[in-house]
A and B are shown apart, each in its own frame.
Chain A
Amino acid sequence: MAYVAKRVLTTIPVLFILSVMVFSLIHLIPGDPAQVILGQDATPAALAALRAKLGLNENILAQYWNWLGHVVVGNLGNSLLDGESVSHLIFQRLPVTLELAIGTFIIALLIAFPLGILAAVYRGRWLDGTALFTATIGISVPPFWLGILLLLLFTVKIHLFPSSGYVPIWQNPGRNLSVMILPMLSTGFREAAVLMRMLRSTILEVLHEDYVRTAKAKGLNGWAIIVHHALRNALIPVMTMGGLQLAGLLGGLVITETIFSLPGFGSLLVQSVFSRDYTTVQGAALVAALAVILVNLIVDVLYGVVDPRIRLGKKAS
C-alpha cells in the first residue's frame, strides 16, 4: 500500500507542473496572441474583445488561477472558432481514437505473442532470425508511411477497403471496421515489433531462471513451462508497453487519423492547430498528457498486483 501511496503522491507535483506548462502554451505565441489569432486586419475593438475573452488583461497569476479553477471542474474553455465547449469537442472525438488505440493494441498482441514466443523458443534458428529482422524493420517503418502504402495497395490498386467515410461502430459495425482496419494495421505493425522484441527477451530471461530448471526437473514439458512460467512473466512487458507506448501511440494516431481522414482526437488537434484555435489546442494537449499520466499510474499500480516481487521488494527495501 505504501508503494501505491508513494506513486500517487509523486503524481501531484507532476500534475501541477503540467498545468503550468499547458497554461503557458498560449503565451509562447510570439507577440500579441489576440493579434495572431485574429490576423493583421483585425479592428482594435475586436482585439480588445478577444483579449478580454482570453483574460489576457489580468495579471498572469490571476489568469492561471482562473484557468485552473475551470480546468479542475472539466471546463477547458470554448473554441475560438465557433464558441463550442472544448471539453465537448474532445469528448465527441474520443470514441474514434479509443477504437483505433484498442484495435492497434489487439493487432500488436496478435502478431507479437506467437512470434515473440516462437522466436524465444527457437532462439538462433532461422525463425528467430526472420522474426528479429522483421521487428527491426517494423520499428523503423514510420506508421504514417505504412498507412500511405496500405492506402496505395488496398484502396487504389485493389479496391478492397474504402479510403474514407467513417461511421461509428454502433451504427454500422461492418462498414466501421472496413474503414478502421487499415489505420489499425498501420499503427499496429510498429507496436507489434516493439512488443515482440520485449516478449522475446523476457521469455529468454525467464527460461534461465532456477524455477524453470526446477520445473524441467519435475518433468514438465517445454510448452507447459512456456505457458505457466514464461507467459505470466511476459505480462509485465505487455503492461509496460500499454503504459509507455501509449504516449508514442497517441502521437502516432494524430497523424494516422489525418492520413485516413478519421474524425478522431488527433485530427481535431491538427485542425485546431491550423485554424489557430488555441484554446482547443491547449485543451487537447492537456487531455493527451493527462491520459498518459493516468494510464502510467494504473500500470504501475497493476505491476504490484501482477508481480508480487515488485510489491514485496519495495516493502523490504
Chain B
Amino acid sequence: MAMLEPSTEQPQTVLRAAPSAHRRRWHTLRKNRALVGGGSIVFVILFAAVFANELAPYSPNAQNYSAILQGITWQHWLGTDNLGRDTLARVLMGARTSMEVTLGAALVGLVIGVPVGIISGFYRGFLDDWLIMRIVDAIQSFPFLILALVLAAMLGPGIRNAMIAIGIGYIPVFVRTVRGQMIAESEKEYVLAARMTGARDWRIMFLHIFPNITTPLIVQVTLAAAGGIVAEASLSYLGLGAQPPTASWGSMLQVAQGYLNSAPLLAIVPGVCLVIAVLGFNLLGDGIQKLWDPKRTD
C-alpha cells in the first residue's frame, strides 16, 4: 500500500498531498502486471502493424527461388517459405492484416452495437424484451466462427468481408454490455437531475450516461479483439480471409501445414505471433478490468 511507504520528506503542507496522490495512482498502475504486460504487447503489435513496411528486411511478397524453405540464417532471421519469401517480413505484414481486420471488425460491432444497446437499455419494455434482445440471442446462438465463416462465404472471401463477418459476431456482446450498464446507470441521481432540467432523451443517453459506461465497453472491446485475431487467422487459414499474396498469420499456417516435415519453423513463427497477440489483448482486457473494478478480480 502506498500509504505505508516510508516517506523521505516531512509532511509539510496540504499542497504536498497532490503529488503523493499522483504517485499512488502511478504505483497502482505499475503494480497492475496484466495492464503493463498486456499494454506493452499490444503496443508492440500495433507498432509492428503500422510500420511493417519500414521494419521488414525484405518485401513480404518478394520471392527468391534460390532460398526456399530455409531455417534461421543471417539473411533470413526467421527463415523463408515455399516461395522463398522472408518469414520475418511476412509475419510483420501479418500483424498489419490481423490488426486491420480486428480493429475494423470492432468498429463495425461498435457502430451497430452501441446505439442499439443504449436505446435498448434506456427504454427497456416490449421492444427491448421481445425484439432487440431476442435478435441478440439469435445472433449469439450461432457459434462465432461458424457465423463468421457463413457470412464470409455468402459475402465472398477477402479482408473487408472478413471484417464485416467478424464485426457482426461482436454485436451481441457489445449490445449486452452497453445495455446492462445503461440499466444500472439509468437509476442514478445524475440521470434524474438531468431529466429534471428538461434534457431530451437522446441527450441523457449519449451525453450524460454513455461517457460513464465506456470503461466496461473498452474491456469488452479489448477481449473481443483477442477473439477477433483468432477468427481472422481461422478465416484466412480456411482461405476466406486475406487472399494471396497478402500475408496473414492464418494463411501462413495453412501453407506451413504442407511443409511440417521439411520446414517446421514455418508453422511455429506465425503461431507464436498469434499466441502473443491474443495473450496481449487478453491481459490488457484483464488489466483494465482490474483497474476499473478491483473487487471483481481476486
Report which of B138, B147, B275 forms a contact with A140, defined as CB distance below 8 A. B275
Which of B24-32, B44-52, B60-68, B277-285 faces chain A?
B277-285
Chain B residue numbers with a CB within 8 Å of A52 are none
Main secondary structure of the interface of A (DSSP, over half): helix
Chain A residue numbers with a CB within 8 Å of B147 are 251, 285
In the assembled complex, the Cα of A254 lies from the Cα of B149 at a distance in Å of: 10
Number of A-B contacts (CB under 8 A): 137
Docked-complex contact B143 and A139, CB < 8 angstroms = no
Docked-complex contact A10 and B146, CB < 8 angstroms = no
Instruction: Tell me how far the C-beta of A58 lies from the nearest C-beta in chain B, rounded to whole angstroms.
Output: 21
- Once A151-B260, A254-B149 are accepted as A-B contacts, the answer to whether A14 and B134 lie under 8 Å apart by CB is yes
Chain A residue numbers with a CB within 8 Å of B283 are 136
Chain A residue numbers with a CB within 8 Å of B233 are 142, 144-145
Instruction: Tell me how far the C-beta of B161 lies from the nearest C-beta in chain A, rounded to whole angstroms.
Output: 10
Main secondary structure of the interface of B (DSSP, over half): helix
Residues 222-236 of B at the A interface (beta carbon under 8 Å): 226, 230, 233-234
Docked-complex contact A140 and B238, CB < 8 angstroms = no
Chain A window 243-270, contacts with chain B (Cβ cutoff 8 Å), 1 for yes, 0 for no:
0001111111011001100000000011
Instruction: Tell me how far the C-beta of B252 lies from the nearest C-beta in chain A, rounded to whole angstroms.
Output: 11
In the assembled complex, the Cα of A10 lies from the Cα of B230 at a distance in Å of: 32
Instruction: Tell me how far the C-beta of B273 lies from the nearest C-beta in chain A, rounded to whole angstroms.
Output: 10
> Is the C-beta of A288 less than 8 angstroms from some C-beta in chain B?
yes
- Once A14-B138, A142-B234, A156-B260 are accepted as A-B contacts, the answer to whether A252 and B145 lie under 8 Å apart by CB is yes
Residues 173-232 of A at the B interface (beta carbon under 8 Å): 201, 204
Which of B89-97, B106-114, B151-159 faces chain A?
B151-159
Chain B contributes a number of interface residues (CB within 8 A of A) equal to: 46
Docked-complex contact A17 and B234, CB < 8 angstroms = no
- Chain A interface size, as a band, is 35 or more
Docked-complex contact B137 and A28, CB < 8 angstroms = no
Chain B window 148-191, contacts with chain A (Cβ cutoff 8 Å), 1 for yes, 0 for no:
01110111100000000000000000000000000000000000
> Is the C-beta of B271 less than 8 angstroms from some C-beta in chain A?
yes
Chain B residue numbers with a CB within 8 Å of A26 are 154
> Is the C-beta of A13 less than 8 angstroms from some C-beta in chain B?
yes
Chain B residue numbers with a CB within 8 Å of A293 are 141
Instruction: Tell me how far the C-beta of B168 lies from the nearest C-beta in chain A, rounded to whole angstroms.
Output: 10
Residues 246-274 of B at the A interface (beta carbon under 8 Å): 253, 256-257, 260-261, 264, 267-268, 271, 274
> Of residues A21, A156, A255, A290, which shows the largest number of chain B Cβ atoms within 10 Å of its Cβ?
A255
Chain A window 270-293, contacts with chain B (Cβ cutoff 8 Å), 1 for yes, 0 for no:
100110001001001100111011
In the assembled complex, the Cα of A246 lies from the Cα of B274 at a distance in Å of: 23
Chain A residue numbers with a CB within 8 Å of B130 are 13
Docked-complex contact A273 and B267, CB < 8 angstroms = no
Docked-complex contact A14 and B142, CB < 8 angstroms = no
In the assembled complex, the Cα of A201 lies from the Cα of B297 at a distance in Å of: 9
Docked-complex contact A152 and B260, CB < 8 angstroms = yes
Chain A residue numbers with a CB within 8 Å of B275 are 137, 140-142, 145
Docked-complex contact A21 and B260, CB < 8 angstroms = no
Docked-complex contact A30 and B156, CB < 8 angstroms = yes
Docked-complex contact B261 and A269, CB < 8 angstroms = no
Chain B window 115-138, contacts with chain A (Cβ cutoff 8 Å), 1 for yes, 0 for no:
000000000000000110011011
> Is the C-beta of B210 less than 8 angstroms from some C-beta in chain A?
no
Chain B residue numbers with a CB within 8 Å of A17 are 134-135, 137-138
Docked-complex contact A285 and B142, CB < 8 angstroms = yes
Docked-complex contact B146 and A285, CB < 8 angstroms = yes
> Is the C-beta of B237 less than 8 angstroms from some C-beta in chain A?
yes
> Of residues A13, A141, A148, which shows the largest number of chain B Cβ atoms within 10 Å of its Cβ?
A148
> Is the C-beta of B139 less than 8 angstroms from some C-beta in chain A?
yes
Report which of A14, A145, A204, A284 forms a contact with B274, defined as CB distance below 8 A. A145
Chain A residue numbers with a CB within 8 Å of B268 are 149
Docked-complex contact B146 and A269, CB < 8 angstroms = yes
Instruction: Tell me how far the C-beta of A140 lies from the nearest C-beta in chain B, rounded to whole angstroms.
Output: 4
Report which of B141, B151, B267 forms a contact with A18, defined as CB distance below 8 A. B141
Chain A window 20-32, contacts with chain B (Cβ cutoff 8 Å), 1 for yes, 0 for no:
0100011011100
In the assembled complex, the Cα of A90 lies from the Cα of B267 at a distance in Å of: 32
Docked-complex contact A247 and B150, CB < 8 angstroms = no
A258 to B, closest residue via Cβ = B238
Instruction: Tell me how far the C-beta of B87 lies from the nearest C-beta in chain A, rounded to whole angstroms.
Output: 15
> Is the C-beta of B58 less than 8 angstroms from some C-beta in chain A?
no
Chain B residue numbers with a CB within 8 Å of A249 are 143
- Once A136-B279, A142-B274, A273-B150 are accepted as A-B contacts, the answer to whether A156 and B143 lie under 8 Å apart by CB is no
Docked-complex contact A273 and B240, CB < 8 angstroms = yes
B281 to A, closest residue via Cβ = A140
Docked-complex contact B278 and A140, CB < 8 angstroms = yes
Docked-complex contact B146 and A29, CB < 8 angstroms = no
Report which of A144, A246, A273 forms a contact with B149, defined as CB distance below 8 A. A273
Docked-complex contact A248 and B143, CB < 8 angstroms = yes
Report which of A201, A255, A288, A296 forms a contact with B238, defined as CB distance below 8 A. A255
Chain B residue numbers with a CB within 8 Å of A139 are 282
Chain B residue numbers with a CB within 8 Å of A289 are 138, 141-143
Chain B residue numbers with a CB within 8 Å of A246 are 143
Chain A residue numbers with a CB within 8 Å of B134 are 10, 13-14, 17
A146 to B, closest residue via Cβ = B271
Chain A residue numbers with a CB within 8 Å of B256 are 148
In the assembled complex, the Cα of A178 lies from the Cα of B15 at a distance in Å of: 71
Q: Can you list 21 A-B contacts with CB-CB less than 8 angstroms, sorted by A residue number? A: A25-B150, A30-B156, A136-B279, A136-B282, A136-B283, A140-B282, A145-B253, A149-B267, A149-B268, A247-B141, A247-B144, A251-B143, A251-B144, A251-B149, A254-B149, A255-B145, A258-B238, A269-B150, A270-B149, A288-B146, A292-B143
